[in-house]
Amino acid sequence: MKNEMKLSKCIKCNEYTLRETCPRCGEKTKNPRPAKFSPEDRYGKYRRMMKREMEKE
């Protein structure tokens, strides 16, 4: 199995790191890469609905 580095980006200060929390501000990090696009995305409608709901909060 290939050993991959998991690059993450801080949500708050936009710092890149390999950790799950930002070493600068302590905020949670997330994967900076977008999800793969597929024209046959069966769950895209539901994902967009969920995203809109999360933005309202």
Number of domains observed in the structure of the chain:
1
14 vs 3, which has greater pLDDT? 14
- Structure confidence at residue 1 as a pLDDT band (50, 70, 90): very low
CATH number at residue 6: 2.20.28.40
Please answer whether residues 17 and 23 qualify as being in contact, where contact means their C-beta atoms are separated by less than 8 angstroms: yes
Whether the model clears a pTM of 0.95, i.e. scores above it, the answer is no
Model confidence pLDDT, tens digit, residues 12-31: 998 999 988 999 998 999 88
For residue 25, what are the domain limits? 1-34
Of the chain, the percentage scoring pLDDT greater than 70 comes to: 89
Q: Of the candidates 38, 14, 35, which has an alpha carbon nearest to the alpha carbon of residue 25?
A: 14
